Structure 1
């Protein structure tokens, strides 16, 4: 190829471009000379895969031509071998509007020379004009289970040091297992005085958690004042680790706009306490709250099937007057399901929502499967048939009819509703279809009675254990009336 190969009409609409090098016959070093960046005016996301700059030299004008991809705001480097930390800096500084860099399985071949770094800091420090706002180090390459810490390599020290030099970064995404210790993680976080967003996944492989999380220093001296975290998101980790991370984050600010938690075990009292403190101190600034349990992990041990297990449910949202999105998982501890137990949990939660701005409410009820007795081969029934709903209807309707929920409105797309009630099984042996069908009928009848004020407004979508989904309640009502008249 001796001339640029570009269809100008199509190049103007391309938004993402992924370029994977051929190790046997590398070509990416000439890539920007063949695809002039000035033609890709809509290209905002660029990815380089399998670069190996430890062998051979780059095209003389590689970075000069690469600079013409001026619309790029997001850059990803995947499974790349670079000569030194300078290569990362040169790539980042080439894109004038780059905001986010993602690095996945990056190796720096030559470690930084400490003496040379002191004498010539420009060799390792990024140009002052670089204004990165986000860094992501999630690693998915060659890992069938990206949330398994064994599939995540510890980040190379030179990579960490290089990324730490971009002090303008405000949002970070990473796996805990990519850090050799909490101390190293803490030092990494302290490099970003503008930090106000964290997205962290996975369980660390640190040996002694108590030693790792010993009292850490307070707010770093270089930390800029800010009102609240934009978002704190912690996923696929134990409640204990989640609690410790929140403790550290609150040294910077005890308020947050978005708090999202996905636990791999049951919440502990310490976690519930610090979450309650954060939610209350956030007040009207809290706009999103997610409290979820990874049912795949729980199913392995069937932890919630133990009668002595107590699941703590957050119900402290009176002061969050601007809360928009609320997602709560409610595991039922043991079979059979008592409708009174479900009613109490729902009433307690909904009654304490103080927001007048609620746009989305998702409640997922996680049902235990039947546990078979090896002695008599009998199993516990999935539910107990309720005698009557009369005693519970009025208080529930009174809550749903309050003016604070007037902001909940149905979407123009009939497939979406602002209130989603999900009922699903986890763990154990999946029950017989006949029992699942009966349980689904009981749940549907309960929802029809309790949520009648919202059903009339077209707000509710119901997902039943049987797999059926209901969001057109007028049709259900018509079918029921027709059946009664027969």
Structure 2
């Protein structure tokens, strides 16, 4: 019988007393579980005291409490609930050097992820027993170390080697007090320890200045530590660790099995773009050749981005590429960079399955700043994000028309286009505000012709059309107004206009259309509203009548057929 059925027979305690009782049971998870079953009041008091799948230890007190809980009789199986362990250093009473002794690995037999944050082992040295007890965490496959300092690289590698099942390593803002002397670190590790498959290096701008006094030496030491793990197949690098393109290329040669390469952010005072002399070794006969399945280039300045693309602009590097990502922050891709990316797409050809793109797109840059997609005839996923796009109606339609015309793959299963609008402008003729400009019917008919191309015949039906709880459909167009000035009338005009543009896809049930801020308070549009349908039909009819008068009632046969098709799709 449920607690509600017994509510009249149990004494009614004040909520403050219930909270206090549950607080005394903090270290007894099984009794807390029983408290949750009493009634709603007890459930609310007990549930926030539970540790869930993620275990967070921020202080010595939290460490002691949890260690006592797991060691207590009857609580041993409780440790099986946790798959993530997060240790944050307490500068007043450090725990980083003792936690595996207080909570032995056998108490958390299913922990997969270990995160160590804010450690400063230059100030508090671990005992040798630390590494011995750490080795009992045999289920840990992922190690993340963030914003931490170690005395030297040897100490850092001892952590890696102590975890026998380690496969994924993330270093974010890690520094060394004493950088390595060149050649002092072994260049390889034993096959028993060489199990790493994923390695991620991220720099950190917020580490204390005294931790980062020897930035270049520190970077090279960290790179040398990890270069020994030749088993890595997925490598993510912050380019601020490198002084030149040749340095990057030489480092990649340590990973012969590399198939996924992710590069980001080279914005740092000590990094200079590669010169012609730097890039010379890239093309030497003995230089290692990349063969990638995934390549990502994110938030990299244009000079670096253009030169880095030379690494993958080869037939061998592109022969197995199936996933590409290009993201540019606060800048518009140059014509040269777009041409290099187009060359990569050409070399990849029908092998490319997924392309993701993010970048600014100011006036008249769609043709020169965005790569050509004609060679990508087997794309199954395309995710595009344009920023700083003018909110004039012709500009919005022009961007969409160019992109949708260039797509040549009939295999699309996922198409997401997000356009961030910058400000309101004038109408098509430039004479009246966009808020009051009527949709130009001729351009809508032309756009419907683009949507009716055979390459879009197999677009998947939108699940969001049948289920409003679906966040995003496989095919989604999203328009977002940036900035604080938001005109409801302007957004209403844009929304109505874009609905008219995409009426054929909305009628087919393959599209989810989102506008933010939405003037009607809707999460998304998945069908053509009747009001938009009637307005569009009237405006198209007016254009047909004007064409009849202008040409004396005569029309081109092909034009007749096109307009009739459009009339059916819209009306």
TM bin, normalised by shorter chain, reads: 0.7 to 0.9
Equivalent position of 2:419 in the other structure: 365
Distance 2:332 2:136 in 1: 51
1:316 matched to 2:372? The reply is: yes
Residues 42 and 465 of structure 1: CA distance in aligned 2, closer, same or farther (over 3 Å): same
* Offset at residue 162 of structure 1 (A): 0.9
**Residues 412-431 of structure 1 mapped to structure 2, 5 A cutoff:** 413-426=469-482, 431=485
- 8 Å Cα contact 1:393-1:449 kept in structure 2: no
Residue 448 (structure 2) aligned to one of 396, 411, 417: 396
* Offset at residue 52 of structure 1 (A): 3.7
Residue 404 (structure 2) aligned to one of 350, 372, 375: 350
Residues 175 and 383 of structure 1: CA distance in aligned 2, closer, same or farther (over 3 Å): farther
- 8 Å Cα contact 1:367-1:423 kept in structure 2: yes
1:70 matched to 2:138? The reply is: yes
1:164 matched to 2:227? The reply is: yes
* Offset at residue 390 of structure 1 (A): 4.1
- 8 Å Cα contact 2:141-2:168 kept in structure 1: yes
Deviates more, 1:5-14 or 1:48-57: 48-57
Equivalent position of 1:218 in the other structure: 283
- 8 Å Cα contact 1:15-1:44 kept in structure 2: yes
Structure showing greater radius of gyration is: 2
Equivalent position of 1:375 in the other structure: none
Residue 503 (structure 2) aligned to one of 452, 457, 475: 452
- 8 Å Cα contact 2:473-2:512 kept in structure 1: yes
* Offset at residue 248 of structure 1 (A): 2.0
Equivalent position of 2:43 in the other structure: none
Equivalent position of 1:182 in the other structure: 245
Deviates more, 1:392-401 or 1:40-49: 392-401
Equivalent position of 1:261 in the other structure: 326
Equivalent position of 1:88 in the other structure: 156
- Return 5+ residue gaps in structure 2 as ranges: 1-63, 538-571
* Offset at residue 67 of structure 1 (A): 1.7
- 8 Å Cα contact 2:513-2:525 kept in structure 1: no
Deviates more, 1:394-403 or 1:235-244: 394-403
Distance 2:133 2:95 in 1: 15
- 8 Å Cα contact 1:179-1:185 kept in structure 2: yes
- 8 Å Cα contact 2:138-2:165 kept in structure 1: yes
* Offset at residue 14 of structure 1 (A): 1.1
Q: Secondary structure at the match of 1:396?
A: helix
Distance 1:410 1:171 in 2: 33
Q: Secondary structure at the match of 1:343?
A: helix
Residue 126 (structure 1) aligned to one of 175, 189, 208: 189
Q: Secondary structure at the match of 1:161?
A: helix
Residues 333 and 112 of structure 1: CA distance in aligned 2, closer, same or farther (over 3 Å): closer
Residues 272 and 36 of structure 1: CA distance in aligned 2, closer, same or farther (over 3 Å): same
TM-score, length-scaled by structure 2: 0.68
Distance 1:383 1:70 in 2: 63
Q: Name whichever structure is richer in helix by fraction.
A: 2
Residue 26 (structure 1) aligned to one of 94, 112, 126: 94
Residues 170 and 327 of structure 1: CA distance in aligned 2, closer, same or farther (over 3 Å): same
User: C-alpha offsets along residues 347-394 of structure 1, whole Å, 9 cap, x if unaligned?
Assistant: 33223323333222122334342589xxxxxx9944782463145426
Distance 2:275 2:452 in 1: 48
* Offset at residue 185 of structure 1 (A): 2.6
Residues 131 and 272 of structure 1: CA distance in aligned 2, closer, same or farther (over 3 Å): same
Residue 439 (structure 1) aligned to one of 479, 487, 490: 490
Deviates more, 1:438-447 or 1:86-95: 438-447
Residues 153 and 363 of structure 1: CA distance in aligned 2, closer, same or farther (over 3 Å): farther
- 8 Å Cα contact 1:104-1:141 kept in structure 2: no
Equivalent position of 1:101 in the other structure: 169
* Offset at residue 178 of structure 1 (A): 2.9
Distance 2:108 2:400 in 1: 52
1:408 matched to 2:460? The reply is: yes
Distance 1:151 1:309 in 2: 42
State the superposition RMSD in angstroms: 3.8
1:142 matched to 2:206? The reply is: yes
- 8 Å Cα contact 1:454-1:460 kept in structure 2: yes
Equivalent position of 2:544 in the other structure: none
TM-score, length-scaled by structure 1: 0.78
- Return 5+ residue gaps in structure 1 as ranges: 145-149, 296-303, 373-378
- 8 Å Cα contact 1:166-1:192 kept in structure 2: yes
* Offset at residue 45 of structure 1 (A): 0.8
Distance 1:371 1:338 in 2: 8
